């Protein structure tokens, strides 16, 4: 059977299942994904997830081919200059220079955690909340400043060119950078809520508890008396559905984006895995990262290969832009941490940046900077959460609730 025909069969099958009253949990499981039965999920959100999966399969039946509009560095720079609705998908590479840990490193440093995945398992959290609190404390103490990559996205927003930022990270540096048009696909460490009644806990209360150390962990919800009134940082765990704004924003943005820019991520895990194939074929796609991703059926138009900060500094210079320093509030938080004995914060103004050398060209569409590689990586990709890494535990997931700001 042809792939396109198979796609139609799957779509018809899903429609028949819904008409027959089958639960979306069961449909997702039949399609190879699993959603925790304990998760508080709106059924319409799960059916939207099913629709995204079927649409991705439909698009994979006709893989995207590279456009000629990004041939050459001049064309790449011009694409960014003239695009008015840039959709940005950012991963751990965007935060690399902030010094925040990969989730595997964080798990190894935790005396409580059995494995990296256990940090992001809601059942493990109920039995032992401290590892996730320790991760949140490491990620959100005020020591880390937004990187030049964050400030590049903020500059896009300031110039009215940012359609929306979709982030796979949980470090809340998008907030510190002042980026307003953002969707946090895996939650973040800057808010928390009760796993029983879903009541929100203020950011200041969470920050105080994280700073106080593990003797004060976990927080208990003061608004309910449920036996499991544990307060959990709003970091997504396995088996939890995406925040509703992910699907809602994607539906809107995929219709209007005029440029897709991957930064520090190749988005191979849902819900963002559906972005590249679902975008209209005539919308250019650029990828910024240390190395090209593993072979995928959909081709990006140009690969800018190097550390994200190096690439955006070069791109900014070519555009004639001066990247702003981190906002004063972010720098002040880092300075306060340093005054309390923490690591020294980087000078937000800093010395004048050195000129970044132009990249070397590799056929057919790779531009390799000094810190980059033209070959796919042999090691696992950097990630702040395993939910952003393809693997055997890849399930339907996202944030249990929209991050509270």
Residues 389, 13: Cα–Cα separation, whole Å: 29
Cα–chain-centroid distance for residue 321? 25
Q: Give yes or no: 226 in active site.
A: no
Count Cα neighbours of 71 within 13 Å in the Cβ-side half-sphere: 5
SS3 368: strand
369, 100 contact by CB (below 8 A)? no
Retrieve residue 69's tokens.
């509009």
136, 110 contact by CB (below 8 A)? no
Calculate Rg over the CA atoms of the chain. Answer: 21
DSSP codes of every residue in 60-120: HTS-----GGG-SHHHHHHHHHH-SSEEEEE-GGGGGGGTPPPHHHHHHH-SS-SSTGGGG
Of 186, 270, 394, 397, catalytic: 186
Starting from the edge strand earliest in sequence, which strands make up the sheet with 86-90, in order? 182-184, 162-167, 86-90, 259-263, 285-289, 302-305, 366-368, 360-362
80, 263 contact by CB (below 8 A)? no
Burial 191-211 (b: 16+ CB within 10 A, else e): bbbbbbeeebbebeebbebbe
Residues 366, 66: Cα–Cα separation, whole Å: 12
- 351 contacts: CB under 8 Å, gap ≥ 6: none
Retrieve residue 82's tokens.
């003239």
Residue 385 carries which DSSP code?
S
The residues that are catalytic are 186
């Amino acid at each position: 059977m042809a792939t396109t025909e198979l796609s139609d069969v799957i779509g018809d099958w899903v429609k028949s299942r819904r008409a027959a009253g089958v639960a979306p949990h069961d449909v997702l499981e039949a399609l190879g994904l699993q959603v925790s039965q304990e998760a508080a999920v709106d059924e319409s959100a799960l059916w939207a997830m099913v629709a995204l999966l079927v649409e991705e399969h439909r698009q994979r039946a006709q893989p995207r081919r590279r456009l000629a509009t990004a041939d050459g560095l001049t064309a790449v720079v011009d694409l960014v200059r003239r695009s008015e609705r840039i959709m940005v998908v950012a991963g751990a590479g965007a935060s690399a220079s902030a010094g925040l840990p990969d989730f595997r490193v964080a798990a190894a440093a935790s005396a409580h955690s059995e494995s990296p995945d256990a940090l992001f398992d809601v059942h493990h959290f109920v039995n032992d909340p401290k590892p996730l609190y320790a991760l949140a404390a490491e990620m959100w103490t005020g020591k880390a400043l937004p990187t030049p990559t964050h400030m590049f996205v903020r500059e896009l927003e300031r110039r009215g060119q940012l359609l929306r930022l979709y982030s796979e990270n949980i470090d809340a540096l998008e907030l510190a950078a002042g980026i307003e048009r953002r969707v946090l696909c895996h939650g973040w460490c800057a808010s928390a809520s009760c796993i029983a009644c879903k009541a929100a806990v203020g950011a200041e209360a969470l920050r105080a508890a994280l700073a106080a150390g593990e003797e004060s962990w976990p927080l208990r919800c003061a608004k309910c008396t449920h036996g499991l009134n544990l307060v959990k940082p709003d970091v997504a765990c396995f088996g939890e559905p995406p925040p509703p704004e992910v699907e809602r924003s994607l539906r809107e943005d995929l219709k209007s984006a005029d440029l897709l820019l991957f930064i520090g991520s190749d988005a191979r895990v849902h819900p963002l895995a559906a972005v590249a194939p679902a975008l209209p074929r005539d919308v250019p796609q650029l990828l910024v990262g240390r190395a090209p991703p593993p072979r995928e059926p959909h081709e990006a138009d140009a690969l800018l290969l190097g550390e994200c900060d190096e690439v955006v500094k070069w791109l900014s210079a070519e555009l004639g832009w001066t990247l702003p320093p981190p906002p004063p509030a972010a720098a002040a938080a880092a300075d306060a941490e340093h005054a309390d004995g923490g690591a020294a914060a980087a000078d937000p103004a800093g010395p004048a940046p050195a000129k970044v050398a132009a990249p070397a060209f590799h056929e057919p569409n790779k531009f390799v900077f000094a810190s980059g590689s033209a070959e796919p990586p042999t090691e696992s990709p950097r990630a702040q959460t395993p939910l952003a890494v393809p693997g055997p535990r890849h399930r339907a997931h996202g944030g249990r609730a929209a991050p509270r700001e």
